[in-house]
Structure 1
Amino acid sequence: MAVPNAFNLTNNMENTFLSKLDKINVSVDVYYWLENELLPKVSADGYTADGQSVLVGLVRLRQVRVPLDTCNFHGVSGSRLLSLYFFDMCAEDYTRGSAVKSHFHPGWTKESNLTDTSSPWVYRQTDSIWALWHYDSGGYVEDIDPRLPDYNHRLSELRNMSWIDRQTRAIFVDFTLYNANVDLFCVVSVLVETPATGRARAQVDLPVLRLHLYNQTTDLILLTFQIAYVIFLTYFIYYAVRGILKDRMEYFKEIWKVLDLIIVSLSLIAVAAFGARMVLTENTLANYRENNKSFLNIAPVVLADRTLLNVVSTLAFIGCCRCCKLLSGNNSLSLMQKTFGRAIKPMLAHGCVIVVVMLAYVMLGNISFGGYVESYSTIYNAFLTVTNFVIGSYQLEDYVLFPTLGTIFFISFILFMNFVLLNFFATVMMDAFFTEKETFVIPEDREIVTYTMNRIRARMPGWCHGHGHAENQSPDGVESDPATTSFGSSENGCDEKRLPDMETTE
């Protein structure tokens, strides 16, 4: 579940340590940012600059590199082309397969066979919360303790020996802060990318999590609910297995049973992720207690916690959708369900047309505007931009540079997508609704439910006044005839003169 105070803590960290991160334009600006912004604020009198948190462990710098002379120019000799423009060596963008993993002497001179993992010139594997991204978890690592008076001297050595140079493609700055007031850990992870095109760009990830569980009274209540959930999960596993063995493939033809099976599967994943998080937390804290002068690497805990959070959020969504079955006795919801069932096939067919048209605009925007507008710079960005365009979110500044083509793109998309294609969805739904309404028959079990509710309402004082006319309406808003209502009662259940006769009939 969401961690209380996580947003406030994250917002405080951004304002305290990362307010000037956008000043990094080239890779060497990282030195200036570390020396003048980050490290002094982390080590201010034992506490951070805000006076509410403390640094746990060290600050870790890590970089990934690419080799030189790896550019491929098709049709032209690479060396001839480079010499033509007085360019001695070139290095492509980073990929996992092209990363440098050799050991070097200080200054990146000559390859070395040294395996001293404390050296920033030796490649080593580590854990990183960016491991699921484009970058590998390994690299060249330097740990710095900003509480020591000579930490600037170490940064100066790295700068003088060009630890960050033109082969550097990404720089990671990781450290962990602990706020005892709210008992939360915040992992600050900064990624500075230095692509082959030049200008650096920074990204930030600030996961917040609680490592010490079950220390408060509310945590014990949460533990009780977790144990109860596991007990119910065991029963539902038995129920699902018995249903599959009994009905075979017929079991998967009912949507509610399929949702139950999905809930059971996700619940098992959540239990496994929760167990992995507990084990990883204990191992990480035990290792840190043995050497509290080292870097606290809780990246595996963060990855397990995010997996758990994603699974639990999906479970909450599916569980709420599953509650719709409890309302299946409502005639309006039953009519809506049948309407969606009738309209799903034509909607899918029409949706394919919309997707094709959207992809056409994606390709047009990427090819025409991609070299000048960031929102169309890649296929992925162009697809997001077009999707936002569909829901009415767009930036007119993106098309100012192209007065002719941009105007045609903008107006044609509005007319063709919003006014024509999307309105077909409403047309398909309305056609299916009116078709189902003409043939809709209230099931007998729901007539019993309606009769029971009307009998209860009839005995509630004051219910009949002001509610009779509203209750005489059918799900589609058309007033029904009380004489045709099942079980011989009026639709609103407020015809008190007939109640004794109904009891006699029973």
Structure 2
Amino acid sequence: MKPQLAHSRDPEMKSSLQELLIYMIFLTDLGILTFGMVSTDMFYLNKVMSSLFLDTSMSETGNTNFKSIESVDDFWKYAEGPFLDGLYWDASDIRSSIAVNGTTRHIYYENLLLGVTQVRQLKVRNNTCSVYPAFRAFMKECYGPYHYLSEDKEHFGLKNGPEWWYFTSQSLSPWHQGLVGLYSSGGFTFTLPKSKNASIDKLTYLKEKGWLTRGTRVVFIDFSMYNANVNLFCVVRLVLEFPATGGVLPSWQIYSVKLLRYTTYYDYFLAFCEVIFCLFIFSYIIQESIKMKILKEEYIKNAWNWLEILLLLLSLLAIVFNIYHTVEVSSLLEYLLSNSFTYPDFYLLALWQTRCNNMISVNFCFTCIKIFKYVRFNKTMTQLSSTLSRCAKDIIGFAVMFIIIFFAYAQLGYVAFGSQTDEFSTFQNSIFTQFRIMLGDFNFASIEQANGILGPIYFITFVFFMFFVFLNMFLAIINDTYSKVKAEFSVMPSREFEISNRIREGYRKALAKRKLKRKSTSQNAILYAVRQDRRDKE
């Protein structure tokens, strides 16, 4: 490399090194915050609650747990048996040092149940589906699948209590996406008493009076608990869907989240990191605003700038949510402490906290990827970026053909095998199943059993086109372009500035200066000793 060229690129190199150093500090700070939000205790708490409320069976039958519920009778057996046994944990065991009174209850000795448990159902009206004329004489009632417009909001049954009255939700809780439907946040709601015997009496009463009807389409069981040992809230939602086809489809959501953020010294350290993170974000916003003003139309042509905007938006959303989360948790706890016989709706906070964690994890992932922006002087990175940019048109053309064939096979699998196999039961499942086939993770016997002729034909032709043709075409495009780029770089003069070389060179200079300084210090010490000896002799 010519000295003049090297000298002209030195300022750009130094600027990139400075930006990289500052960015690594920001990345470290974001990494501390990201990993500070989660812990292995969350997994173990979820596992314990799952074992207690999902896998525990009745001692008499040994087969009625939450996952095995298939009918209305099974639901009442589970609610009166394993569910209440887990919810009203027996604290008389000698291992428990907790005195349980009429206002507080502990689950598995360590988890404080917050408030009371809420049970909610949604129904549909009669005659919400069309019956073929020839069968109308035999079917006087028809309850279709759940839809918000067909929801039954009329008071029913005895109409003498809140469990028989329809309530519209006053909170901002989002609608629940179940296995077969999207459910609103209202419904017919009641809470369980704090006494186990009273809860059994109430459930028995509702069962006898027919609280669950043919129009029932979903039942939600919500409760929350707090474990002070690990400072985690565990929010549980058990869902039982009653589809129009009959039967019951159980599902569940268990969230272990950290809602009380500042309790230990490490939490205060995280708070300090949060302040640093906010300062970084606001400074980056100012920098990007200045760049937009200077570059104008050129700004949006750079893909790195789009990534920068995405990271800033995700970071701002995380900051806003953390402020809202802190205020809302304090409000909920104050309300709960003033009235412990109500249901505290921590589900919304837990849901958004989980989504915020997911958002921050995505943000951290993209932040790590952005490091490539600061190592653009590296020869290997230049070859990689040149390869991808040169073969972009070929890859786009290949992707169009791939998508056409891929989705054609996806609809074939959904229509041909969807009614027989779970892997193709929905169009989305069909798409993911085909990706699994490409990776070698697939149960061939299921589609062969669904269709003995079309199943093998579908499998063989799909594997042939996707794996042997398209996948090899994709690899050929990348390999061919990379070979050309590498050949061009091999004959070109070395003009890149290696950041690693620059860092190594700076380290050697600093080390050399330090050695010279030590040598000079040693020489001065010797001269001083000689002079002092002469003075003593005189």
Give the length in aligned residue pairs.
446
Q: Is the 8 A contact 1:16 1:49 kept in 2?
A: no
Could you give the per-residue CA deviations for residues 278-331 of structure 1, whole angstroms, max 9, x where no partner exists?
222122112112211111111221233133212211210110010112322221
Q: Quote the Cα distance in structure 2 between the aligned partners of 1:147 and 1:424.
A: 67
Distance 1:267 1:49, change over 3 A: closer
Indicate the residue corresponding to 1:504 in structure 2.
none
Distance 1:449 1:167, change over 3 A: closer
Q: Is the 8 A contact 2:123 2:146 kept in 1?
A: yes
More helix per residue: 1 or 2? 2
Question: TM-score, normalized by length of structure 1?
Answer: 0.83
Instruction: State the 1:398 CA deviation.
Output: 1.4
Instruction: State the 1:453 CA deviation.
Output: 6.7
Please give the secondary structure, in 2, of the residue aligned with 1:352: helix
Indicate the residue corresponding to 2:496 in structure 1.
446
Q: Quote the Cα distance in structure 1 between the aligned partners of 2:116 and 2:377.
A: 60
**Aligned with 1:238 (options 286, 298, 301):** 286
Q: Quote the Cα distance in structure 1 between the aligned partners of 2:354 and 2:269.
A: 23
Could you give the per-residue CA deviations for residues 343-373 of structure 1, whole angstroms, max 9, x where no partner exists?
2221122112111111111111111111111
Q: Quote the Cα distance in structure 2 between the aligned partners of 1:256 and 1:353.
A: 28
- Flag structure 1 segments of 5+ consecutive residues without an equivalent: 107-111, 462-506
Q: Is 2:178 the counterpart of 1:131?
A: no
Distance 1:449 1:140, change over 3 A: closer
Q: Quote the Cα distance in structure 1 between the aligned partners of 2:86 and 2:110.
A: 12
Instruction: State the 1:210 CA deviation.
Output: 1.8
Letter in 2 for 1:52: E
Q: Is the 8 A contact 1:62 1:141 kept in 2?
A: yes
Instruction: State the 1:100 CA deviation.
Output: 1.2
Q: Quote the Cα distance in structure 2 between the aligned partners of 1:218 and 1:339.
A: 45
Letter in 2 for 1:183: N
Q: Is 2:420 the counterpart of 1:372?
A: yes
Distance 1:457 1:148, change over 3 A: closer
- Flag structure 2 segments of 5+ consecutive residues without an equivalent: 1-33, 56-64, 92-99, 512-538
Q: Quote the Cα distance in structure 2 between the aligned partners of 1:201 and 1:22.
A: 9
Indicate the residue corresponding to 1:101 in structure 2.
153
Q: Which moved more, 1:452-461 or 1:383-392?
A: 452-461
Answer 1 or 2: higher relative contact order, Cα 8 Å, separation at least 6: 2
**Aligned with 1:29 (options 74, 77, 84):** 74
Indicate the residue corresponding to 2:88 in structure 1.
43
Indicate the residue corresponding to 2:395 in structure 1.
347
Distance 1:443 1:215, change over 3 A: farther
Letter in 2 for 1:11: K
Instruction: State the 1:91 CA deviation.
Output: 0.6
Q: Is 2:484 the counterpart of 1:426?
A: no
Please give the secondary structure, in 1, of the residue aligned with 2:147: coil
Indicate the residue corresponding to 2:534 in structure 1.
none
Q: Is the 8 A contact 1:186 1:209 kept in 2?
A: yes
Letter in 1 for 2:468: F
Q: Quote the Cα distance in structure 1 between the aligned partners of 2:288 and 2:197.
A: 63
Instruction: State the 1:32 CA deviation.
Output: 0.9
**Aligned with 2:126 (options 63, 68, 72):** 68
Q: Quote the Cα distance in structure 1 between the aligned partners of 2:135 and 2:268.
A: 69
- Between the aligned residues of both structures, percent identity stands at 25
Q: Quote the Cα distance in structure 2 between the aligned partners of 1:272 and 1:220.
A: 19
Instruction: State the 1:125 CA deviation.
Output: 2.5
Q: Is 2:463 the counterpart of 1:411?
A: no
Indicate the residue corresponding to 1:496 in structure 2.
none
Q: Is the 8 A contact 1:43 1:55 kept in 2?
A: no
Instruction: State the 1:456 CA deviation.
Output: 7.4
Indicate the residue corresponding to 1:14 in structure 2.
50
Q: Which moved more, 1:21-30 or 1:452-461?
A: 452-461
Q: Is the 8 A contact 1:184 1:208 kept in 2?
A: yes
**Aligned with 2:348 (options 297, 300, 313):** 300
Question: TM-score, normalized by length of structure 2?
Answer: 0.78
Please give the secondary structure, in 2, of the residue aligned with 1:360: helix
Q: Is the 8 A contact 1:41 1:48 kept in 2?
A: no
Instruction: State the 1:129 CA deviation.
Output: 6.2
